[in-house]
Amino acid sequence: MVDCRDRGLQYGDGIFETMRVRSGQVRLLDLHLDRLYLGCRKLRIEAPARPNLRRELVHLAGHRQDGILKLIITRGSGPRGYRPSGNERCRRIAFLQSLPGGGSDDEAPVRLRVCTTALGTNPALAGLKTLNRLESVLARAEWSDARIWDGLMRDADGNVVSGSMSNLFLRRGATLTTPLLDRCGVAGVMRRWILQHAGDLGLRTAERRVRWSDLKSAEEVFMCNAVAGIRPVRSIAQAGGSTLKFGRRETADRLRSLLDAQ
Amino acid sequence: MVDCRDRGLQYGDGIFETMRVRSGQVRLLDLHLDRLYLGCRKLRIEAPARPNLRRELVHLAGHRQDGILKLIITRGSGPRGYRPSGNERCRRIAFLQSLPGGGSDDEAPVRLRVCTTALGTNPALAGLKTLNRLESVLARAEWSDARIWDGLMRDADGNVVSGSMSNLFLRRGATLTTPLLDRCGVAGVMRRWILQHAGDLGLRTAERRVRWSDLKSAEEVFMCNAVAGIRPVRSIAQAGGSTLKFGRRETADRLRSLLDAQ
Concatenate the DSSP letters of all residues of B117-137 into one string. Answer: SPBPP-TTTTB--BS--HHHH
Report the greatest alpha carbon distance in chain B.
55
| Cβ within 8 Å, pair A93-B4 | yes
pLDDT of residue B104: 60
| Cβ within 8 Å, pair A133-B81 | no
Give the 3-state secondary structure of B133-163: CHHHHHHHCCCCCCCEEEEEEEECCCCEEEE
pLDDT of residue A101: 67
Please check whether residue A204 is in contact with residue A149, taking contact to mean a CB–CB distance below 8 angstroms: no
* Residues ≥6 apart with Cβ < 8 Å to A25: A58, A61, A62
* Residues ≥6 apart with Cβ < 8 Å to B159: B179, B209, B210, B211
Instruction: Say how far apart CA A259 and CA A193 lie, in whole Å.
Output: 9
pLDDT in tens, chain B (262 residues): 999 999 999 999 999 999 999 999 999 999 999 999 999 999 999 999 999 999 999 999 998 889 999 999 999 999 989 999 989 999 999 999 988 765 566 889 999 999 999 999 888 899 999 999 999 999 999 999 999 999 999 998 999 999 999 999 999 999 999 999 999 999 999 999 999 999 999 999 999 999 999 999 999 999 999 999 999 999 999 977 799 999 999 999 999 999 999 8
| Cβ within 8 Å, pair B133-A132 | yes
Instruction: Say how far apart CA A3 and CA B1 lie, in whole Å.
Output: 4
Please check whether residue A192 is in contact with residue A138, taking contact to mean a CB–CB distance below 8 angstroms: no
- Picking from B130, B164, B184, the nearest residue to A134 by CB comes out as B130
User: For residue B1, which residues of chain A lie inside 8 Å, CB to CB?
Assistant: 1-4
| Cβ within 8 Å, pair A12-B120 | no
Please check whether residue B163 is in contact with residue A109, taking contact to mean a CB–CB distance below 8 angstroms: no
User: How many CA atoms, within 13 angstroms, populate the side-chain half-sphere of residue B242?
Assistant: 6
Instruction: Say how far apart CA B38 and CA B15 lie, in whole Å.
Output: 10
pLDDT of residue A51: 97
Q: For each successive 10 residues of chain A (262 residues), what is the average pLDDT?
A: 94 98 96 98 95 97 92 95 93 92 76 95 93 97 95 95 98 98 97 98 98 96 97 92 93 96 86
Q: Does A58 touch chain B (CB under 8 A)?
A: no
Q: Does A67 touch chain B (CB under 8 A)?
A: no
Q: Does B123 touch chain A (CB under 8 A)?
A: yes
pLDDT of residue B107: 87
Distance from CA of A137 to the nearest CA of B (A): 5
pLDDT of residue A43: 96
End-to-end CA distance of chain B: 37
User: For residue B123, which residues of chain A lie inside 8 Å, CB to CB?
Assistant: 118, 156
pLDDT of residue A262: 82
The CA-based angle B5-B6-B7, given to 5 degrees, is 110
pLDDT of residue A102: 57
What ipTM was assigned to the predicted interfaces of this complex? Answer: 0.94
**Which B-chain residues 194-253 have CB contacts (< 8 A) with chain A?**
none
The CA-based angle B82-A13-A9, given to 5 degrees, is 65
Could you tell me the strand order of the sheet in which B91-97 lies? B25-26, B14-22, B66-74, B91-97
User: For residue A82, which residues of chain B lie inside 8 Å, CB to CB?
Assistant: 133, 136-137, 139-141, 164-165
| Cβ within 8 Å, pair A44-B141 | yes
